[in-house]
Structure formats: C-alpha cells, structure tokens
Structure 1
Amino acid sequence: MPLYKGDPRSVGGYKLVDRLGAGGMGMVYRGRSRSGREVAVKIVHAEYAQDPVFRARFRQEIEAARRVSGAFTAAVVDADPEAELPWMATQYVPGQSLAARIRDQGPLRVPELRPLALGLVEALRDIHRAGVVHRDLKPANVLMAEDGPRVIDFGISRAAESHHTLTETGQVIGTPTFMSPEQFTDARTAGPASDIFSLGALLVYCITGRGPFDADSPYLTGYRVVHNQPALDGVTGSVRAVLERCLAKEPGDRPGPDELAREFARVLPEPSPGEPETMRLRLPSARPGPPPPAGDPAATRHPRWRGTRVLMAAAGVLAVALTGCLLLVPSRGDGATGATGATQARTTAPSRWAPLPPGWKPWQTTASAIAEKGVRKAPGYEGNREPACVPDDGALYCAGSALLPERIDATTGRTLWRSGIAPPGIPADRYVTALLGVHEGVVLVELTVTGADGKGEAQSVLALDGTSGTRLWSHPVRTDSLGSVYAAGVTLTQEGDGTAVTVRSAREGTVRRRIPVPAGYDCLLLAAENRPYVECMTQEEGSHSTKFLVVDPAGGTARTLASPAQSRSFVGVQDGRLVFVEADDRPVANSPDLIYTRIVRVDPDTGRRTPAPLPERYRGGVPTLAHGTLYFATSSGLVTAVSPATGARLWQSHTTLETPGQASVDQKGRTVYLAGGSGRVAALDTATGTLLWESSARAEVLDTGLLPTVWFNKGALVLATSDGTLFTLDPAHPDRKPVPG
C-alpha cells in the first residue's frame, strides 16, 4: 500500500517506501537502508509509546526476535526501543502471508503441506531452542517466501522459563482459533507445547479452510478449545493422527519439534519428480471459480436503519476490544462454505461484473487530504475519520466528523469542490456533517456543532448547489433529534418544540406540511424505497408502545399504523409490504450482535400484520433487505441469507471480515458485498453464498463506531475505511493497485 500523507518518511536511517500492514501495537512499513537493503520496519503507535506496558512489550518482542535465528524466521536487523516512537527493522521477506494464500487460492492439497509443515516445525525448533515461546502462531504470522515459510511477529512471545506476563488481569492475548487451552486457562503456563497446539490448528486450517474449533464468536471458540474435541472433517489418514496428537488438551501429550518433524516426514508425501517443494507454495494465479448462476431476483432497495446509532456504538466498543485492551482477535478460516459447500474462489466470468465507468482508474485518497484550506482537522484530533458518502451520476458526495461536504469525481478520485459551511471560529473537531441525499442537483446535508462536552449545541439542515457547493437554504433543527432524512424530493426534520415533524421541499426549503407526533414518544425519521416514514416509540416501565407513520411526500400527509410491539428493526419494503425484523431485547454478551427472532410484514394501507417466526435464531448487526433477500452478518464475519417471506435460511457463508457493515447488492442482483473497517471487502454470490473473493486491507482498524458500507459507481465499488481512506475497486480485479487521488 502507498504511504499516507501523515506517515513518516524515514526512521533510524531507513527510508520508508511502502505500507505493509498494521498490527495491534503499530504500523509495519517496507524500508530501505542507505546501502539499498530492504527491511520491514515496525513502528509503535504514538498512543502506545507513552504506555509503559506497551513499551515494555515492544522491548520484549525485540529481545525475543533477536534471540531467534534460523532459516524459517525473519532476523532482526536494527531496533531502537527507547526512541520517541519505538521501532524495529527485520529482514524483509517478499511474499504474501499464509492467510492471504489460503484466502486467494483456497485450502492446500495434502502434498502441498510437506514444505510448509516441515519448515514451520524447524522454525519452532529454533524458536524453542532460543528459549522463546511464540504464543501467536497463525496464518497471518507466516510469510510465504520463495524458499519456504518464515515465522514473524513475536509481539506477545516470552521467554520459555519465565512465568511473568505483561498481560493485565482479565486480558486474553492471542487469536482464539489458533490458541492452546492453557492460553485460556492460565497463560503463565503456556510453554513450547502451546506452539505445537497452534501449529496443529494452523495445519487443519490449511487443509480444510477452517479452524478445528471455529465458532460464531471468539468467546465460544475459546470454550471449544478448552472443552471440545477438534472438528477434523476433511483431514484423513496418517496426517489426521499426527494432528490429533498436536491438538491434545494436555501439553505433555503433544509431540516435540524433533518427533513431529519425523512424523511429518513419514506421513506427508514427497513432491512429484521435477517439481521443487518450494514451488508449491509460491504465488500462482487464483483458481477460477464456478460459473455464475442464472436468473436475477426481483429488485428492492435497502433503507436507512432503525437502531443504527445503538449498533454503531456497540460496534465501536467491540473495535476497542479487538484492537486495543482485550487483544482477543477473532479469526475464521479464510475458506467459506455456502449452500453448496464450495470453497472460496475468484470468478472471472465477464457477465457477472457490470462495465466500469469510462475513464475509470483505481484511485485512493484520504480524509486528511480532503480536508484542506482552513477546514483541516484540529491538531491532535483522533476521533472518527471515516467519511460517509452518497453516489449520484458519476459523483460522490461525502461528509463526516471534522469533515465538510465535498464533491468527488467518482471515476478519478479528484475533489471537485468542498463547501465552506463551517461556522466561523468553530474548530474542526466540533462539527459533524452528514449527507442526507441528492435531489435534482441539490445536495442535502445535516450539520451538527458540538460543545466541549460532546453534546450538540446547534444543528441544522442545509441545501447545497451540487455544481458549486454553495449554500441554497438552511433551517435549524432540534439538537436532541434522532436525525433528519431525505426521500422523494422532501426532507423530514424535527424542529421547534418537537411536537411535529416538518416536511420541506428539498429544492426550495419551503414547508409543505407539519405532521403532529404522539406526545411522550421519541421519533426516528426513516426512508426506504424512496419513501419517507416516521417511527415513534415510548419505553415506559412495564410497557413498550410503537406507532409507525407512512408519509405521503407529495401532500405531506401521514397515515399511522400500529406496528409490532417488540424490539425490532424496519428493514424496508418487499412486494408492497413493510418488513420488520424483531430482535431479542437481550444483546449477545461481549458482542454488538443481536439475536433476531421473527419477521413481521405490514400492509401499509390496512395496517394488517403478518408475522413469520424465524425457524432459527439468526445473529447479526443491522440486517439488510436487498433484491428480495434478507442478509444478516455477525461481528465475526458469518453471513446468512434469509427469505423475508418465510424466514427460511437460503445459505450461510463464512468470511474473515471483522464487524462488517451493511450488505450491498449490485444492480444485477448477482453479487452481495460487505466491508470491514480496514477496507477489506468480501464478495459473495447471492444465489449460493459462495465466497468469490476477499480484497486486501487498506488501513488499520480504528475505533470509529461506524459500520462500513460499499457504494456503487456503475460497475465500480467505492468505500471508506475507519482511518479516513476513501478508495474504489474493480470487482473483477479487486487487488489492482490504486492511483493516489
């Protein structure tokens, strides 16, 4: 990945030339010494550099990596743990990670395992002989070099003879799918045998595309690691017997590296004559996927969601846990299984992908590059940086926290204008802008100015000229409102004393009607199928009452319906009926997911309700109704497609996304996309759930609390990451290198 505007250009005499990725403690760059030698440079995040525990952990990583030397580890070249931003340079290993290898090409064949398994056993032998326990052996920490695997990242390793740990009480460090039972029960007892257990889990994952203890949450995965026998479906013969010994619950029952090397040499076949061992794990082109299914489902469009603010806050809490204090990172197998059980494959069928816009290029820009000329973020601002955008006729209109509305050419990434609507004298970290929609060349925006305590001081809805960004009209709204909405040429706002919803013309800003709302109710404004709605709720002790208003945008009149009386989400319209999904009031512990229990369809003319209890208790964040299918996605990346009429499961597929946002379906209704906060995108076939591809990450995951969404510019994808990166993808070639915008 190219360097970002705020990235350092050199450290310790090494010129930084590229981003390689992000870890829990810092960024990793590709660097070059004055002599031209290439190295991988890891720099601790500024906020962690001030934390004595994190600084000590980094010293520990350097010490552990320096003690290890072998053909299958990456040697330390240089380091400065006492620098203002501590850093370490190691041997640069060209090649993708094992995780990316499995993601791109699917599980390995048994003959392909020999060079990998024996190389990793040799690496562990060298690590253990140096008196070090790695404690985080997983596919992402194995690089596939031309001459064999390399084990990297000793960030949570420790000396084998030491029972001291830097982990604070209640923290669990590692990746659950590949952790040993003792890491969950008492991390201080995790010795060399713990790495053998992780190696066994890693090799099962390489063969089957999933871990032997995988579950829908990292917490259930941990329970299975400690208490359940491994799931080894797909692993047969003598290899299975060896891996069963590696995965023994008791450390003393697992083989040591020398014994394990002899066992693998015995049970794993030699490469075919004339085919070097290392060639098997190089970087060949992706295997072609199955042909796309025929037929396009009927089209519906997914709406704006009730409950989004609560779910966004919950997602933010989980993001903190996954990237900071908890350090318990959920990891799933990179292979996916859908209704057909097919493994992940990238399709090259040209009929699946819509044509790209003329002149399109894979551009990338950032929020910090967007915010210029007096509207740059306030110094030290580290809040939400993810822009939210609305595509319209080849343009992308974007806004966000500490960002002012902009128009961007969606084909080239060039900024066409940025609006100067910031109140005079207000620092950038105290305003938030949100794009409501675009109507006949008019851009509708909500602007909120917050106080030093984070509470709203002023809020207004504005209309901007889409060509120039100049203000056309503006009106104040209540600072305690739950947001404004645009649909069908009108805006709905809550103004004045809050006793009515104001319906205004989007073009002129004139009032068409004021709709009274029930006294004692809090009202949320919604839009679906280009139609506005108002959902009003009261939550008195012992009772829960809801009224749902269907608004006529032409005349501004409204019809009140009695909607379901339980906790639920309005997800859209299908076959002329409003669709609600009810959820259990009790959220899933330690997860932003909810448990959904029933679908209710409501006739908007008569108010008649048709409930359909779900045959399964589906988990997920905010559900999506698109092209006649209801999609649930869990925080661990499990995607389930459901019939909105019956609730029956159509398919279920695993992705490796962490806390994905809402699903987006292309115009053909053939492909569903989900994105994570790092900018990784998963593409699945809407008919079968087959995972077509997953793109690489574009940024580190920050605690923004936003749910990322994929937008469309004709045949191209557009999305934003949690650190403010905005970029586009060609879905037929998702890993094409971007051109900086």
Structure 2
Amino acid sequence: MQTTPLSPEDPAQIGGFELLGRVGQGGMGQVYLGESPGGEPAAVKIIKPSVVDSTTRLRFAQEIEILKTVWGARIAQLLDADADAEQPWLATEYVEGPDLGKHVVTHGPLPALLVLSLGATLAEGLGYVHKQGLLHRDLKPANILLGPNGPKIIDFGLAVFAESSASLTAANTVVGTPSCMPPEQANGVKPLTSAVDVYALGTVLLFAATGHLPYHANNIHVLFHMVTDPATAPDLTGAPPELLPLLTAMLSHHAQDRPTITEVVQQCRGLVEAQGLKLAQARRRLTTYTAAPPQDFPTLLSVPVSENTTSPPVPVVSDSDPATTPVHAEQPTEPVSTDEPASDTRPTMFLTAPQRAPRPEPPAQPAATTPVPVPQSTEDQQEGLNVPQRPHLSGRPPARSLRHSAQARRTAQQLREAYAARAAF
C-alpha cells in the first residue's frame, strides 16, 4: 500500500498504535499505516468524527465482530479494535503491496495463467468465509491486496450473515460497488446467498485479465439498469479464450446459474494443470510477478532456455515453468546463500559473473616463487546482484566456491540490507 504523510488534523496515535502515514480513505473513515508498541505494522481504520453516530457505531461494531469470526491465509487478520472509543477504530494486519486495481492500472492486465491462480486462491479464501455463514458482499479489485505472501481480502464492512434478512441499511437503499455488484444485490433481494461473492469474484478476475469491469457507464442510474437488465450481457472484451467459459458462468444474471465457490477452485485448478503446472506453482508465479519491479516483467515472462542449449540450466525456486521464471541465458549462475529460509513469495536471487575484458598476464616470476592470487578490487564488486567470481591463476586449484567464501557472506549481507531498504518500514 502506498503511504502519504499525515495531515495536521490526523492523530499521532490511537489505541496504542503510533500512526506513521495515510494509506487510504473512504466515505466513512481514514486508513493509516500504524505501528504497535512492539513494532508490529498494522492498517488502522478510524471512523471520521463527522459521521460518528449510533448507526455508524453499530455497523462498525458488526464489522469488528465479523473480523473476529473470519480466518484464513487469504484474510487480513484483526489485531485490535474499539468500537466504543470517541473515534471508533480497528487495526488489522498490514499487507505490504498494492491493491489489484492499482496494480492493473499501473502495469496492465495479468497473464491468463496468473488470473487462474488468483481466482483459485481468492475462491478458496472466500470458501472459508462462507463456512462461517458469512458473505463479503463488497469484493472488488480495491479490496484485494497483492502482498508478499500472496493476495489477501480486506474490508468486511458490508459483510453479513448469509441466512439473515436483517440489515442496517435504510429502506430502499442498496450498498456496495455497483460495477461489481450482482443483479440480486442491486435489486435489494434478501436474503442473499454465496452466489453474490461468486459473481463479484468474476468481476475481479475479469478486471485482472482485461483491465475493465463487466459494466461501465458514466451515470449511476444507467449502470444500475445495465447490471439488473437480463438482456444486457456483461462486457467480456479482451478476456483470454481459456477464461471465457468460467467468467461467463460466474457472471450469470441468475444466481442459480453460477458455479459454487468450490467449483470455481476446481475449474481454475483444472485449467492450470492443463498447462502442465501445479496450482501451487502458479500461485508462486503470481506472487513473484506482482512483487517484481516493473522493469523485471519481461524477464519474468520470457521463454526459458532450450533444453538443447550447451549452457547448464539455470537453477530456479521450484520448477521450470516459463510464466514468471527469471532466465539468464548467457552463463550459468550460482544461488546466493543468504542464511534465510526458502520462500515461495520471493524470487531466488542469483550472482552472475559478468563478461569482463581479460586481465593482462602477470609478470613472469622465478620458478621457485609460488604464484600469488590476484586480490579482488572494490571495482570488481558491482552494485546490485551482479558480483564477479574471484579469479585465480592457472596451475593451482580454484579458490573455495563463492557460496562458502567471505565474499559470499559480504554479498549476502549487502542483499539483506538492499531488501530492507526497499521495505516501507
């Protein structure tokens, strides 16, 4: 999430959380990047003083109770909250990364394989929500955060219990995001079923694959008419052919015609496996792709080195899928030892010996003199990931491998410092 500085009217702390910057806002409140007394980052949501009344407090208390109920790896977890404070607030797990909407607008649609991975991951996360008898009701690209451990669902402010017909909404009022809202929700039908989240997930996947939503209009009344009119088909322009059957089914006008959330997972899995990958592999590629700097995108999507090449294969994290695997065809590489556990959410970094002009031959020495290795100069240590290997003179065995040398330890420390410098906190 991108942060902006605090304004003079923003509080410096609330509920023990120090507020460090703004990360977003809505009609009801402001969201801040906060830090707990123990140094834990958090997303702190505070209701605006101008909208605090009994109804707002009741709705906010409901959101807190729902966050206490839902769980799972795809849900940003509740840390603490106080609905009775002068300014009601809640703090959830901070997810370091952009929301899906900003990522697609900035970098373009995701490849079809990664959209399928996103669909399976989010559908499974919603499945855990539905098992608690809850519905999200406001799934949209802005409520999907692309974090270092995969996508996470946020903002359960409109979530309700599936079988309940009760509502905190005023009569004849519909809440939600119209362009991601299923027809029955737009029509005010109660009670709603899990099919509303299937439809909304379909709009999210369509946006991820194409950069647009199924319905769009400049006038809100026209937009509602398009959503609720069974004769107006959703706009699937630009969707990859392999995704069209699934998206068409998920965006069906009638709830009973949509697949269940479990069927969405199964269909996404089947389409991924048809390309020769396991779903877990595709999910790792999704996380690697969304966490990569923009200049690395072409490399992550490049074609792998042919099996017939004379160069040894490049070691990768898990497998050889071309979707998002970094490839260096010029020469073999050596994995960096960083003294850290392996992770599915961060690409393996490599040290590559760059092509350098040959050094001049050292002056001849007497036969009785033992050759001395040429020390590596500081000029040889390039910034970033490309660090040359230590040279050695012919006639004696090479020095210890790079991963066991003092140079490797220094390089690992440089990489850790560079990674820490890129973090937001």
Question: Which of 146, 149, 155 in structure 2 is aligned with 1:147?
Answer: 149
Q: CA RMSD in A?
A: 2.0
The alpha carbon displacement at 1:70 in A equals: 0.4
1:257 aligns with 2:261: yes
Q: 1:20 is aligned with what amino acid?
A: V
> What does 1:32-51 align with in structure 2 at a 5 Å threshold?
32-49=35-52, 51=53
Q: 1:251 is aligned with what amino acid?
A: A
The alpha carbon displacement at 1:254 in A equals: 1.2
| Whole-Å separation in 2 of the counterparts to 1:135 and 1:6 | 32
Where do 4+ consecutive residues of structure 1 move more than 3 Å?
A: 268-277
Instruction: Go from structure 1 to structure 2 and tell me whether the alpha carbon gap of 1:210 and 1:117 turns closer, same or farther (over 3 Å shift).
Output: same
Q: 1:79, 1:89 within 8 Å by CA — same for their partners in 2?
A: yes
The alpha carbon displacement at 1:169 in A equals: 2.0
The alpha carbon displacement at 1:203 in A equals: 0.9
- Name the residue aligned to 1:73: 75
> What does 1:241-640 align with in structure 2 at a 5 Å threshold?
241-268=245-272, 269=275, 270=277, 276-285=285-294
Instruction: Go from structure 1 to structure 2 and tell me whether the alpha carbon gap of 1:44 and 1:283 turns closer, same or farther (over 3 Å shift).
Output: farther
Post-superposition Cα deviations, 1:681-713, rounded to whole Å, max 9, x if no partner, equal: xxxxxxxxxxxxxxxxxxxxxxxxxxxxxxxxx
- Name the residue aligned to 2:109: 107
- Name the residue aligned to 1:186: 188
| Whole-Å separation in 2 of the counterparts to 1:251 and 1:46 | 39
1:15 aligns with 2:32: no
1:233 aligns with 2:244: no
- Name the residue aligned to 1:116: 118
Post-superposition Cα deviations, 1:324-377, rounded to whole Å, max 9, x if no partner, equal: xxxxxxxxxxxxxxxxxxxxxxxxxxxxxxxxxxxxxxxxxxxxxxxxxxxxxx
1:160 aligns with 2:162: yes
- Name the residue aligned to 2:63: 61
Q: 1:118, 1:261 within 8 Å by CA — same for their partners in 2?
A: yes
| Whole-Å separation in 1 of the counterparts to 2:22 and 2:247 | 36
Post-superposition Cα deviations, 1:185-204, rounded to whole Å, max 9, x if no partner, equal: 12433221101000111111
The alpha carbon displacement at 1:286 in A equals: 6.5
Instruction: Go from structure 1 to structure 2 and tell me whether the alpha carbon gap of 1:21 and 1:275 turns closer, same or farther (over 3 Å shift).
Output: closer
1:26 aligns with 2:42: no
Question: Which of 86, 99, 103 in structure 2 is aligned with 1:97?
Answer: 99
Structure with the higher fraction of residues in strand conformation: 1
Q: 1:201 is aligned with what amino acid?
A: T
| Whole-Å separation in 2 of the counterparts to 1:194 and 1:287 | 37
Structure with the higher fraction of residues in helix conformation: 2
Post-superposition Cα deviations, 1:454-509, rounded to whole Å, max 9, x if no partner, equal: xxxxxxxxxxxxxxxxxxxxxxxxxxxxxxxxxxxxxxxxxxxxxxxxxxxxxxxx
| Whole-Å separation in 1 of the counterparts to 2:288 and 2:295 | 15
**SS state at 2:267 partner:** helix
Instruction: Go from structure 1 to structure 2 and tell me whether the alpha carbon gap of 1:10 and 1:184 turns closer, same or farther (over 3 Å shift).
Output: same
**SS state at 1:189 partner:** coil
Instruction: Go from structure 1 to structure 2 and tell me whether the alpha carbon gap of 1:287 and 1:100 turns closer, same or farther (over 3 Å shift).
Output: farther
Q: 2:209, 2:240 within 8 Å by CA — same for their partners in 1?
A: no
Instruction: Go from structure 1 to structure 2 and tell me whether the alpha carbon gap of 1:274 and 1:70 turns closer, same or farther (over 3 Å shift).
Output: closer
| Whole-Å separation in 1 of the counterparts to 2:146 and 2:286 | 12
Q: 2:234 is aligned with what amino acid?
A: P
| Whole-Å separation in 2 of the counterparts to 1:13 and 1:187 | 41
The alpha carbon displacement at 1:244 in A equals: 1.0
Q: Percent identity among equivalent residues?
A: 37
Instruction: Go from structure 1 to structure 2 and tell me whether the alpha carbon gap of 1:16 and 1:42 turns closer, same or farther (over 3 Å shift).
Output: same
Post-superposition Cα deviations, 1:38-97, rounded to whole Å, max 9, x if no partner, equal: 111101110222x21111111111111211100001010101011111110101111111
| Whole-Å separation in 2 of the counterparts to 1:264 and 1:287 | 26
- Name the residue aligned to 2:359: none
Instruction: Go from structure 1 to structure 2 and tell me whether the alpha carbon gap of 1:172 and 1:274 turns closer, same or farther (over 3 Å shift).
Output: closer
Structure 1: give runs of 5+ residues left out of the alignment. Answer: 289-741
| Whole-Å separation in 1 of the counterparts to 2:203 and 2:195 | 13
The alpha carbon displacement at 1:238 in A equals: 3.7
| Whole-Å separation in 1 of the counterparts to 2:292 and 2:19 | 25
- Name the residue aligned to 1:175: 177
Post-superposition Cα deviations, 1:660-687, rounded to whole Å, max 9, x if no partner, equal: xxxxxxxxxxxxxxxxxxxxxxxxxxxx
| Whole-Å separation in 2 of the counterparts to 1:22 and 1:130 | 28
The alpha carbon displacement at 1:109 in A equals: 1.4
The alpha carbon displacement at 1:273 in A equals: 9.3
Instruction: Go from structure 1 to structure 2 and tell me whether the alpha carbon gap of 1:60 and 1:286 turns closer, same or farther (over 3 Å shift).
Output: farther
**SS state at 2:190 partner:** helix
- Calculate the TM-score normalised by the size of structure 2: 0.64
Instruction: Go from structure 1 to structure 2 and tell me whether the alpha carbon gap of 1:275 and 1:174 turns closer, same or farther (over 3 Å shift).
Output: closer
Q: 2:10 is aligned with what amino acid?
A: D
Instruction: Go from structure 1 to structure 2 and tell me whether the alpha carbon gap of 1:187 and 1:18 turns closer, same or farther (over 3 Å shift).
Output: farther
- Calculate the TM-score normalised by the size of structure 1: 0.37
> What does 1:658-673 align with in structure 2 at a 5 Å threshold?
none
Post-superposition Cα deviations, 1:7-55, rounded to whole Å, max 9, x if no partner, equal: 0011111111111110221111111111111111101110222x21111
The alpha carbon displacement at 1:182 in A equals: 0.8
The alpha carbon displacement at 1:174 in A equals: 1.0
- Quick check: 214-223 or 10-19, which moved more? 214-223
Q: 1:182, 1:189 within 8 Å by CA — same for their partners in 2?
A: no
| Whole-Å separation in 2 of the counterparts to 1:241 and 1:128 | 24
**SS state at 1:241 partner:** helix
| Whole-Å separation in 2 of the counterparts to 1:274 and 1:120 | 11
| Whole-Å separation in 1 of the counterparts to 2:13 and 2:292 | 30
